[in-house]
Chain A
Amino acid sequence: QVQLQQWGAGLLKPSETLSLTCAVDGGSFIGYYWSWIRQPPGKGLEWIGEINQSGSTNYNPSLKSRVAISVDTSKNQFSLKVSSVAAADTAVYYCARFKGFGINNWFDPWGQGTLVTVSS
């Protein structure tokens, strides 16, 4: 059974760069897109972006200028960087596996989440 384990810094100052990594344990890296999703406190879920094993990426247009997702297939890991963070970037960040084929699509499993707080 695939499990995702994520980690990264939880407290940042404005203008710093957010950096998180997600490790994929127990399953193939191939054939999926690997996503980052965030949830501000008390609010809903927002898709940030995704990457596949070849390094092909897609980003949320609202965040694209500040986001970079990378993959290390030798370690079965993928990472998120968000530059120039502000208070509005305070959220729980999740990694998740995305499966989409034809008209079917879903996120499963999810990482445990990392609370990232941006405060001066």
Chain B
Amino acid sequence: SSELTQDPAVSVALGQTVRITCQGDSLRNYYASWYQQKPGQAPVLVIYGKDNRPSGIPDRFSGSSSGNTASLTITGAQAEDEADYYCTSRVFFGGGTKLTVL
């Protein structure tokens, strides 16, 4: 199955750690990639591969995977991390998670 499932919304207190998850059968065979999207902007790649960050992405963003679940972890969330986060596996997208930083 190509379906990827994400929690619709997650919140985190400023400075705390949050994990955003993505579940799907395809994740047993492919790494997920993760995108941050702020209102009115195009998505931005934040994690790809096993746990790789493109240039310019803060190291508080990290990725991991186990079985059919991929996770994006933000360690020490900042106000500017408030955004929608999408996972993908190949060309299939999760439904997105809205992250609120309290």
Q: How far is the CB of B30 from chain A (nearest CB, A)?
A: 5
- By the criterion CB–CB under 8 Å, are B88 and A107 in contact? yes
- By the criterion CB–CB under 8 Å, are A100 and B43 in contact? no
Checking B29, B33, B49 against A107 with a beta-carbon cut-off of 8 angstroms, the contacting residue is: B33
Q: How far is the CB of A39 from chain B (nearest CB, A)?
A: 9
Q: How far is the CA of A111 from the CA of B41 in the complex (A)?
A: 10
Checking A46, A104, A110 against B42 with a beta-carbon cut-off of 8 angstroms, the contacting residue is: A110
- By the criterion CB–CB under 8 Å, are B33 and A106 in contact? yes
Q: How far is the CB of A111 from chain B (nearest CB, A)?
A: 7
A88 interfacial by beta-carbon distance below 8 Å: no
> B residues within 8 A CB of A44?
86, 93-96
Q: How far is the CB of A20 from chain B (nearest CB, A)?
A: 14
Residues of chain B at interface, number, CB under 8 A: 22
- By the criterion CB–CB under 8 Å, are A105 and B86 in contact? no
- By the criterion CB–CB under 8 Å, are A47 and B30 in contact? no
Chain A CB count within 10 A is highest, among B45, B48, B91, B93, for B91
Secondary structure class of chain A's binding surface, majority of residues: strand
- By the criterion CB–CB under 8 Å, are A104 and B93 in contact? no
> B residues within 8 A CB of A58?
91
Known: A104-B48, A105-B88. 12 other contacts (CB 8 A): A35-B91, A44-B94, A45-B35, A45-B86, A47-B91, A50-B91, A60-B91, A103-B29, A105-B89, A107-B45, A110-B42, A110-B44
Residue contacts A-B, CB under 8 angstroms, 28 given: A37-B93, A44-B86, A44-B96, A45-B35, A45-B86, A45-B93, A45-B96, A47-B91, A47-B93, A60-B91, A94-B42, A103-B31, A104-B30, A104-B31, A105-B31, A105-B33, A106-B33, A106-B45, A106-B48, A106-B88, A107-B43, A107-B45, A108-B45, A108-B48, A108-B54, A109-B45, A110-B44, A112-B42
